[in-house]
Structure 1
Amino acid sequence: MIVKFFENLSQDFTQLLHDDEDYNVIIEVGERPNYRVFKAHSAILSQRSSYFREKLRKTTANSRNTKCFSQKSISVYYFDIILRYIYGGFISVDNLNSSTILDLLDISIKFCLDELATFLVRHVIKHYLANLNFIRLYTICFKKDTLTDLQSMCADIAVKHPDLVFKSNDLKLFPEKALVDLIEKDELHLQMGEGKIWDYLIKWGIAQTAALTPNPEFWVDEDFEALKGVLSECLIHIRYHQFSIEDIFDKVQPYHRILDPKIWDDIVRRLSDPDSSMSSVSPFPQVNQLQLSSNIITKEHVAEISSWIDKRSSPYNVNNNPYDFKLIYRASNNGFSAKKFYSVCKEIPKTVVIIKVKGTDEIFGGYNPLSWYRPNSRAFGFVETNGSFVFSLKNGSIRESILSRVRNPTYAINYSPYTDHRGIDFGGGDLKMKFDPTCRCCCIQTSYEYKIRNIRDDFDVEDYEAFQVVRKEPEIPNAM
């Protein structure tokens, strides 16, 4: 049996910061009058931070065998917090605002403290997202190419909430690499549409070129060439096939001189012949609005849920997923009434219900292999099935999906077709939506394997969607 006493161990290490005898590192932090000398220990700094390990390796010890270096660009306040984390493994963020946390994040990345950086990103997204300087967060996370997890976390948020980036007053500060990474994603094009992406891309590009005025009517050839050079890495990711006629005339035409002439010729030709191909560009992936018309989930989510339906040991990806999710109900369009839901969906088998929680990144859902209908239309009660499951989806700050299959098939699905206050119910509470009178939901484990939410309290529903799961038609090869 191994017993671990990490709390006292951490406290003992922090006491070393007050030791005036055994230190062998002196760090001069800040600049006068905000200046302080910190005494530390090379063994601890080297083990906890590769930055300090390299710094100490390059620093020559003095006659007392002590290594001295400075950190003038960092304030005493922040360095004290970071040093206590290095020694004790703890940090308090309860009284820190989002700006302070971003400062700490920047420093933790500088010092290669990846564990702390990941915690700070998740904390600031969870608690300050609505009022967060998201451009600054994104910029900090793109300072190092190795921070792929943090960059992916930011990208997931930006795809779901693109206004945090594109409507920010600091859009011009958004790093080019981050912008390219973002506009490569199919989900962003589905969320925004090509016209809006083009507008913001032009706005960003003009902001990078100080000599350009906002109105292209007064530009000369050199101005268009300058904008083309700034946007060169971004333009190759535009889905030119997706522009509407209005977008072409109102948005693209004024700036068409930044495009390759062959691309512009193809665009103009498609105005008269929408079915014509664009031979001048690579066949970029196109977002199929009919295949996935969701305001909540992505194609990656669809592939994951499809894998659960087929009980696969290895998951589908977006390219080999054999199913389409056909939207049949959206509460924000069709209404939050249970009667309306049942009137639309009652005779449709194999449906997935997706629920977006108001004010968080949480997405819950359930799969019903049966139809939402009982032979006795006036009755309500449980219907048995072995094939249903409920789930929580990875999204933004939610880093892992949770799958929970039915363990008590007798109570798999609860029907309530003719009441306004009762809604969709998996398991009698595992995933239950109620209308009394507002749309609220709860996740209390009863008939399914696992909890999909740790909090038992009801929560508000921002929107919910229902999809029919249909198998894709096989592609017919072209005749020789």
Structure 2
Amino acid sequence: MFISSELLLFELTKQIEIHLIDTKAHWLRFHFGKIYQKSFQNDQYQKLQEWCNDILVKYSKTIFESEDFTSLQENALISLLKRDDLQMEEIKVWNYIIKWGIAQNPGLSTDPNNWTRENFQSLKDKLQNCLPHIRYFQISGDNIVDNIELYQEILEKDLLKDILKRIANSNRNVQSKILPPRINFPQSLPSSLFFLKNGTIHSSILSRVKKPKYAIYCGPTVGPVFDNDLCMRNNFNQDKQCYCGQVSYEKAIRNVPGWFSISEYEIFEVQEK
């Protein structure tokens, strides 16, 4: 009976999350800070966590440059680091992670030149769940020397050596795991969404992009994605993995709330003569 009640509560939580995302997105954005913080205090709020991160990966400065960054919960930080579409240079990600880790060790100097071996170990222990998600092999040689070499004691054995090997020869085999580069949004891409409603041109919807930077992108498990205006995840034609909103395009192309599936889609490239 107790297990059944837990399962029922879990299912109810998921339905409430879906309802909020589908019908109360404006309210969620208005209270974004509290929603973001609360959603990561309970792992049951997976959809709200994902909804928050979908916004933060595009506007990463919102969280990384905030005064509250160093008080960010570890699981929230890790969830962002795992994202392939986090819009930030990798060396900046590294620097922010170091800043966060130092803040978790009260009394630790910000200058690693004055640290003892115990100081480095304390930082390594605090960042042990974050460091594996840094895309080290996407960082330039100059930034490796200027920003990472000082902290080599917190890195896994031979990682720095492998990084330097790859900088010298990008085809060289190394033992360290190489994560894929993050996906960057195009800086400028004219785009429009067209929805043929009721099979007639007259009642159809044409929505032009307002924020070209977020017009379209694809990832390993998503895409094409037209910001949150039309997002297709995983198997878009099953399991109701698609949703529509209105963020970076002029108009919402779908007014019916809820997740849905797409049977097929077409993408056209219009070229000027």
Query: TM tier, shorter chain?
Result: 0.5 to 0.7
1:400 aligns with 2:237: no
Secondary structure of 1:155's counterpart equals helix
Alpha-carbon separation, structure 1, partners of 2:58 and 2:153: 32
Measured against aligned partners, the alpha-carbon deviations of 1:71-100 in whole angstroms (never above 9, x if no partner) come to: xxxxxxxxxxxxxxxxxxxxxxxxxxxxxx
Contact 1:355-1:363 within 8 A present in 2 as well: yes
Query: Cα distance, 1:117 vs. partner?
Result: 9.3
Report the counterpart of residue 119 of structure 1 in structure 2: 20
Bigger proportion of residues as strand: 1
The alpha-carbon distance between structure 1 residues 211 and 116, as it changes in their structure 2 partners (threshold 3 A), is: same
The alpha-carbon distance between structure 1 residues 276 and 185, as it changes in their structure 2 partners (threshold 3 A), is: same
* 1:107-256 equivalences in 2 (<5 Å): 115=16, 119=20, 122-127=25-30, 134=33, 136-188=34-86, 191-256=87-152
Return the index of the structure with the highest Cα Rg. 1
Secondary structure of 1:137's counterpart equals helix
Q: 1:280 aligns with which of 162, 175, 183?
A: 175
Contact 2:57-2:80 within 8 A present in 1 as well: yes
Contact 1:240-1:267 within 8 A present in 2 as well: yes
Amino acid at match of 1:294: P
Secondary structure of 1:224's counterpart equals helix
Contact 1:141-1:147 within 8 A present in 2 as well: yes
Query: Cα distance, 1:182 vs. partner?
Result: 1.0
Could you tell me the TM-score, scaled by structure 1's length? Answer: 0.38
Contact 2:36-2:49 within 8 A present in 1 as well: yes
Could you tell me the TM-score, scaled by structure 2's length? Answer: 0.64
Measured against aligned partners, the alpha-carbon deviations of 1:349-368 in whole angstroms (never above 9, x if no partner) come to: xxxx982449xx99589xxx
Query: Cα distance, 1:231 vs. partner?
Result: 0.7
Relative contact order higher in (CA < 8 Å, ≥ 6 apart): 2
1:294 aligns with 2:148: no
Alpha-carbon separation, structure 1, partners of 2:134 and 2:43: 24
Report the counterpart of residue 225 of structure 2 in structure 1: none
Q: 1:267 aligns with which of 163, 169, 178?
A: 163
Query: Cα distance, 1:246 vs. partner?
Result: 2.1
The alpha-carbon distance between structure 1 residues 222 and 193, as it changes in their structure 2 partners (threshold 3 A), is: same
Number of residue-to-residue matches in the alignment:
213
Query: Cα distance, 1:276 vs. partner?
Result: 2.1
Measured against aligned partners, the alpha-carbon deviations of 1:388-445 in whole angstroms (never above 9, x if no partner) come to: xxx94239xxx7148xxxxxxxxxxxxxxxxxxxxxxxxxxxxxxxxxxxxxx866xx
Measured against aligned partners, the alpha-carbon deviations of 1:53-76 in whole angstroms (never above 9, x if no partner) come to: 99xxxxxxxxxxxxxxxxxxxxxx
The alpha-carbon distance between structure 1 residues 245 and 364, as it changes in their structure 2 partners (threshold 3 A), is: closer
Alpha-carbon separation, structure 1, partners of 2:75 and 2:19: 20
Structure 2 unpaired stretches of 5+ = 194-206, 218-227, 233-241, 256-266
Contact 1:165-1:171 within 8 A present in 2 as well: yes
Amino acid at match of 1:142: F
Contact 1:194-1:239 within 8 A present in 2 as well: yes
Alpha-carbon separation, structure 2, partners of 1:234 and 1:204: 10
Alpha-carbon separation, structure 2, partners of 1:453 and 1:116: 20
The CA RMSD measured in Å over matched residues stands at: 4.1
Contact 2:90-2:134 within 8 A present in 1 as well: yes
Contact 1:355-1:364 within 8 A present in 2 as well: no
Query: Cα distance, 1:296 vs. partner?
Result: 7.8
The alpha-carbon distance between structure 1 residues 116 and 153, as it changes in their structure 2 partners (threshold 3 A), is: closer
